[in-house]
């Protein structure tokens, strides 16, 4: 059989990655990475130019294609940072920079949308989720309120991965996994929600600006002829539906069956699991997302994980290796030094106006090693709160598959095992989103060829685990961290009045 290759692209917050998967051997034959800039201010604005994504994707596609036979490329699958708002005119012109998942400038609009929809309980009943500050809904309302001249030109609202698909194919389509993070999508019925759309935009215009929804195993389209020529690819190359980074990360970590929980230690932190049915939280703390495999993907997101460690590295002046060495010198609990890591506000719990705090300092424990450990423990304790939300809803992990930059640290892997009281293993491939995109592209392509294709079987074949990166919970550490966690919760509750005013 002639070689058949599949490209996965992950367009994230900090940069874009691409991998090329060989169907026959399962090997990653080529990979590349390019960074993105950020537009930000101290009022919560976090935006990017879509041209930066296009430039990064162009660069990495050209790089990976230099190492493989371009004629063997059959399909492309795109993973993208969730919740961002890309506004297009009727002619396909990008109207303004994309507002990102971590943009909290639109927090005020969340309350207004929720109120117009009948309150939080009514919103959860309608769509299975709340109108969270990170979601797309408030970004649209913010643009209508603050930039009416831009809203007037609006023809289509796309998510970041939808926009990359649009660039690749010229088609304006969306799939249910990423769409379920907009706060105007009904996760039970897998359709846009007329009630929430009306609550965002009472004028009625928004309803005509939403893309067509397709299934997760459907193609968005084929590669535009001009791009096919630029990259030396066939115009028959399919582009699969793609999905949000968490949905593609689930495929890329083999999280397509119950019992597995994927946790990401990236800029933000996520915990998600596979479910055959919607998992809806009446308290609204868990995101009741659809997966990009036809199932559901209950998820909890925290806004600050490696944000914390990057900040402390910059202030103290050290690299990752030095950070880990310092943190390992400190005892469990960092001698009482504790970080509430809400540098970007917080999504779970829903505290978009929260700020970070360092407490417990005295003249004896104010050391570099304690600060380094506290800045790793704080985000992990925040993720433990998310795990408790899962358990409250009856979802308990048998194994945690750890991804993201923080997963490269043996100390952090052990910390997660001890704080979660659950075995941890690291997938062999670090680029779970890009690998998930490639596997989904293969799934889509096989279906279009009329071949039997099972995403569970495909994920099992192409996802491997690095057993040398495993960590088992240590009973004494589990007990000690249980006390530290209770102190974390107490501190959080005590400080809430200072940032909820």
Residue 15's CB: how many other CB atoms inside 10 A? 16
What pLDDT is recorded for position 353?
85
- Backbone dihedral region for residue 65 (phi beyond 0: left; psi -120 to 50: alpha; all else: beta): alpha
For residues 356 and 341, is the Cβ–Cβ distance under 8 A?
yes
Rounded Cα gap, residues 479 and 477, in angstroms:
5
Phi/psi at 384 (5° precision): -60, -35
Rounded Cα gap, residues 262 and 403, in angstroms:
7
Q: Under CATH, to which class is 254-427+464-501 assigned? A: alpha beta
Active site residue 418: no
Rounded Cα gap, residues 9 and 33, in angstroms:
10
What pLDDT is recorded for position 311?
96
* Structural tokens at position 293: 């495999």
Nearest to 30 by CA among 58, 3, 53, 62: 62
Q: Is 205 helix (H, G, I), strand (E, B) or coil?
A: coil
218 burial via Cβ count (<10 Å: 0-12, 13-18, 19+)? middle
What pLDDT is recorded for position 240?
98
Nearest to 142 by CA among 82, 204, 85: 85
120 burial via Cβ count (<10 Å: 0-12, 13-18, 19+)? middle
Residue 204's CB: how many other CB atoms inside 10 A? 9
Query: Following CA atoms 7, 12, 17, 18 in sequence, which dihedral angle do they give, to the nearest 10 degrees?
Result: 0
What pLDDT is recorded for position 396?
86
DSSP H or E stretch at residue 53: helix 50-65
Beta strands in 193-251 (DSSP E): 212-214, 219-222, 238-240, 243-244
| CATH number for the domain formed by residue range(s) 5-241+431-462 | 3.30.420.40
Annotated catalytic residue, options 22, 201, 245, 418: 245
From the centroid of its chain, how far is CA 270? Answer: 7
Residue intervals of the chain classified under CATH 3.30.420.40 are 5-241+431-462, 254-427+464-501
Nearest to 248 by CA among 403, 391, 132: 403
426-429: long-range contacts, CB 8 A cutoff, minimum separation 24 = 426/401, 426/402, 426/465, 426/466, 426/469, 426/470, 427/252, 427/253, 427/254, 427/401, 427/403, 427/463, 427/464, 427/465, 427/466, 428/463, 428/464, 428/465, 428/466, 429/19, 429/28, 429/252, 429/463, 429/464
Nearest to 406 by CA among 436, 388, 389, 383: 383
Q: Which residues of the chain have pLDDT under 50?
A: none
């Amino acid at each position: 059989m002639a070689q058949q290759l599949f490209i996965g692209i992950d367009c994230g917050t900090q940069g874009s990655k691409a991998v090329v998967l060989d169907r026959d051997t399962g090997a990653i034959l080529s990979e590349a990475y390019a960074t993105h800039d950020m537009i930000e201010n101290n009022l919560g604005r976090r935006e990017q130019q879509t041209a930066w994504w296009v430039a990064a994707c162009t660069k990495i596609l050209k790089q990976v294609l230099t190492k493989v036979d371009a004629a063997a490329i059959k399909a492309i699958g795109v993973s993208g940072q969730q919740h961002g708002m890309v506004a297009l005119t009727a002619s396909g012109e990008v109207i303004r920079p994309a507002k990102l998942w971590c943009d909290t400038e639109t927090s005020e609009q969340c309350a207004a949308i929720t109120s117009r929809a009948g309150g939080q309980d009514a919103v959860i009943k309608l769509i299975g989720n709340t109108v969270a500050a990170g979601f797309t809904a408030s970004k649209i309302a913010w643009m209508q309120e603050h930039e009416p001249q831009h809203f007037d030109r609006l023809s289509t609202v796309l998510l970041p991965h939808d926009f990359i698909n649009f660039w690749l194919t010229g088609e304006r389509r969306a799939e249910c996994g990423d769409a379920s993070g907009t706060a105007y999508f009904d996760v039970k019925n897998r359709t846009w929600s007329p009630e929430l759309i009306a609550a965002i935009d009472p004028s009625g215009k928004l309803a005509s600006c939403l893309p067509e929804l397709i299934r997760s195993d459907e193609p968005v389209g084929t590669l535009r002829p001009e791009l096919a020529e630029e990259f030396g690819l066939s115009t028959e190359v399919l582009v699969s539906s793609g999905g949000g980074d968490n949905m593609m990360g689930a495929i890329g970590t083999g999280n397509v069956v119950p019992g597995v929980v994927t946790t990401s230690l990236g800029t933000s932190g996520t915990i998600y699991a596979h479910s055959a049915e919607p998992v809806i939280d009446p308290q609204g703390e868990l995101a009741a997302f659809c997966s990009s495999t036809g199932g559901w993907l209950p998820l909890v997101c925290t806004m600050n994980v490696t944000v914390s460690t990057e900040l402390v590295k910059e202030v103290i002046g050290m690299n990752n290796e030095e950070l880990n060495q310092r943190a390992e010198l400190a005892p469990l609990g960092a001698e009482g030094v504790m970080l509430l890591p809400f540098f970007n506000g917080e999504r779970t719990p829903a505290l978009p106006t929260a700020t970070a705090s360092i407490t417990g300092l005295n003249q004896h424990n104010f050391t570099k090693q304690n600060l380094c450990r506290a800045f790793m423990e704080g985000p992990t304790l925040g993720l433990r709160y998310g795990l408790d939300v899962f358990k409250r809803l009856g979802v308990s992990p048998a194994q945690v598959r750890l991804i993201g930059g923080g997963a490269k640290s043996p100390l952090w892997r052990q910390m997660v095992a001890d704080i979660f009281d659950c075995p941890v293993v690291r997938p062999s491939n670090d680029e779970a989103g890009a690998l998930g995109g490639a596997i989904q592209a293969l799934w889509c392509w096989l279906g279009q060829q009329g071949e039997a294709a099972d995403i569970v079987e495909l994920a099992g074949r192409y996802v491997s685990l690095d057993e040398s990166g495993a960590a088992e919970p240590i009973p004494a550490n589990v007990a000690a961290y249980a006390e530290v966690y209770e102190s974390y919760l107490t501190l959080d509750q005590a400080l809430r009045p200072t940032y909820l005013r």
